[in-house]
Amino acid sequence: MKRFLPLFLFVALLGLPVLAFAQDAATLDPAAVASLTNADVDAIKASIKVANGAGDTAWMLTSAALVLLMTIPGLALFYGGMVRRKNILSTMYYSLGSAIVVSLVWVVVQYSLAFSGTGMFIGDFGKVMMNGVTKDPLIFLVPENVFSMFQLMFAIITVALISGAVVERMSITAWLIFSAVWSLIVYAPLAHMVWGGGLLSNMDTGIASWFGVKGNALDFAGGLVVHISSGVASLVLALLLGPRVRYGKDAIIPNNIGFTFIGAGLLWVGWFGFNAGSAVAANGLAGSAFLVTNTAAAMAAFVWVIIEYFHHKKPTLIGASTGVVAGLVAITPASGFVDVTGALVIGASVAVVSYLFVAFIKKALKYDDSLDAFGVHAVGGTVGALLTGVFANPTIGFYFDGATAAAGGLYGNWTQLGIQSLSVLIAIVWAIVGTLISYGIVRIFTKVRVEPQEEVIGLDLTQHGEKQGDR
């Protein structure tokens, strides 16, 4: 016992301040409390507000870093592990290139087009070069410069996701130009429509008014803006580029499934910043989003593995990882609106529908969506957006005004499902048209696809002069 005496003394020493505090609290003079003036109370409230603002800002800075982590290195590893060894570095470069280009376009003009002005489809140039974006609070208690950086990370990963459909055949020059052009033509307008007070978020004159109600499309963290837009663009680009050389004839073996697993893990962790961070505060709504995000991811992976077992008789690590990502995609628009029951249904549903597209429909239609960006993101985002209109729980989330409870069909508001359906259609059409225009602009400046012999050699050597390892 003697050898533990120093430890006991140390613990007792730590406890003395607590006892002193408790004694002070117990002997708090009621007269002193009663003597507080209105000015004293206002000062206390102001101090509390400052403390809360600091906490919210810290959470948003952390969330922004987590979302960037999803792209580099998360998505880079996830995609890089699934391609052939001769293309692993070029595949990673797509993600890095997106981060570089979009970061520059964002601060110059993209943030302004997405989050300024009162237009129905796009913002204005009022915040070009981040003009007027200061440390003053914009939403709740979070400074606008922090909010803008958080939103930048969404813009980065949206473009990077598209690369999953064009790996092993699109030139890096064309990709970098496409990243800039597509960000302005597709992403910025959709972000403004959904989150900037435009067509899909304006509660007075927006899409809900077409249904004779006051409300807006529900997209908490990017089902429409991020996943449907990038997934649809992926399919369009895959069709425009055509399949890889000898696609469907030669076996395409992933070079490093371990990389894909690590990437999926980073995506899962980063997605808590993606969804819970979209509460723009360190509060109970962020906690709810965190809870349902994890639940949907686990449920989707669980169902995906079961389906895969009955289909192939063996559960694969790539399959489980893809199931996790599909669940994360589908819960994204719903994460601030649904409870655990909704999350479980959304996770199970997306596993079934996405698996159908990845394993059967892609093969039947013979399009080369190389890493299933369409089957996971466009399909998953659509499933999530529609089911948000069914499972939105009015005790959890709010409409764009931050005060009106958002309810789905199961809570008596089936009109919301109609709003969600039309919003999905608008996002799909905008992404198709915008991607076609972006592709056409890129072709003006450079050839989009590499030569067949370059594909055979591999883009790591032909595009970058590098290779992974000695083989």
pLDDT digits (tens, 9 = 90+) for 453-471: 999 999 999 999 998 876 5
Task: Quote the pLDDT of residue 248.
Answer: 85
Residues 49-53: what's their mean pLDDT? 59
What is the number of other CB atoms lying within 10 angstroms of the CB of residue 64? 21
The strand pairing partners of 142, in sequence order, are 139
In a domain, 470, yes or no: no
In a domain, 254, yes or no: yes
Task: Quote the pLDDT of residue 188.
Answer: 98
- pLDDT level of residue 241 (50, 70, 90 thresholds): very high
Contacts of 49 (CB under 8 A, 6+ apart): 141
Residues 231-235: what's their mean pLDDT? 98
Q: How far is CA 207 from CA 123, 332, 397, in A?
A: 17, 21, 19
Please give the residue range of the domain that contains residue 300.
Answer: 43-464
Task: Quote the pLDDT of residue 468.
Answer: 86
Q: Where are the alpha helices (DSSP H) in 136-256?
A: 144-162, 172-182, 188-195, 229-241
Cα–Cα distance for residue pair 235/374, rounded to 1 Å: 6
> Across 4-18, 29-43, 442-456, which has the greatest mean pLDDT?
442-456
Q: Does 26 have pLDDT greater than 70?
A: no
Task: Quote the pLDDT of residue 388.
Answer: 98
Name the least confident of 104-118, 135-149, 386-400: 135-149
CA dihedral 308, 312, 314, 318 (to 10 degrees): -60
Ramachandran area for residue 23 (φ above 0: left; ψ -120 to 50: alpha; else beta): alpha
Task: Quote the pLDDT of residue 10.
Answer: 47
Task: Quote the pLDDT of residue 166.
Answer: 97
In a domain, 13, yes or no: no
Upper half-sphere CA count for residue 367 (Cβ side, 13 Å): 21
**How does pLDDT run across 139-187, given as a tens digit for each residue?**
778 999 999 999 999 999 999 999 999 999 999 999 999 999 999 999 9
In a domain, 209, yes or no: yes
Cα–Cα distance for residue pair 327/336, rounded to 1 Å: 15
Task: Quote the pLDDT of residue 21.
Answer: 40
Task: Quote the pLDDT of residue 469.
Answer: 75
**How does pLDDT run across 182-218, given as a tens digit for each residue?**
999 999 999 999 999 999 999 999 999 999 999 999 9
In a domain, 318, yes or no: yes
CATH code of the domain in which 264 resides: 1.10.3430.10
Please give the full DSSP string across 286-306, using - where no structure is assigned. HHHHHHHHHHHHHHHHHHHHH
In a domain, 25, yes or no: no
Which residue spans within 280-355 are E strands per DSSP? none
The strand pairing partners of 170, in sequence order, are 449
Cα–Cα distance for residue pair 204/221, rounded to 1 Å: 22
Upper half-sphere CA count for residue 151 (Cβ side, 13 Å): 30
Cα–Cα distance for residue pair 463/465, rounded to 1 Å: 6
Cα–Cα distance for residue pair 224/421, rounded to 1 Å: 11
Q: Are 200 and 430 in contact (CB under 8 A)?
A: no
Name the least confident of 33-42, 341-350, 424-433: 33-42
Mean pLDDT of the chain: 91
**Counted domains in the chain:** 1
Residue type, 23: Q
- Tokens read off for 141: 């208690």
Cα–Cα distance for residue pair 123/196, rounded to 1 Å: 8
Q: Are 139 and 115 in contact (CB under 8 A)?
A: no
Cα–Cα distance for residue pair 333/216, rounded to 1 Å: 13
Residues 241-249: what's their mean pLDDT? 92
Residue 430, class by beta-carbon neighbours within 10 Å (0-12 exposed, 13-18 middle, 19+ buried)? buried
Cα–Cα distance for residue pair 301/130, rounded to 1 Å: 41
Task: Quote the pLDDT of residue 59.
Answer: 97
- Tokens read off for 465: 């002069």
Q: Are 52 and 141 in contact (CB under 8 A)?
A: yes
Q: Is the dihedral of CA 396, 399, 404, 405 positive or negative?
A: negative
Residue of 90, 171, 168 lying closest to 460 (CA atoms): 90
Q: Are 271 and 297 in contact (CB under 8 A)?
A: yes
- pLDDT level of residue 100 (50, 70, 90 thresholds): very high
In a domain, 355, yes or no: yes
In a domain, 443, yes or no: yes
Cα–Cα distance for residue pair 467/471, rounded to 1 Å: 9
- pLDDT level of residue 35 (50, 70, 90 thresholds): low
Residue of 121, 122, 127, 124 lying closest to 108 (CA atoms): 127
Q: Helices 379-391 and 340-356 meet at what angle, rounded to 10?
A: 150
Residues 288-294: what's their mean pLDDT? 98
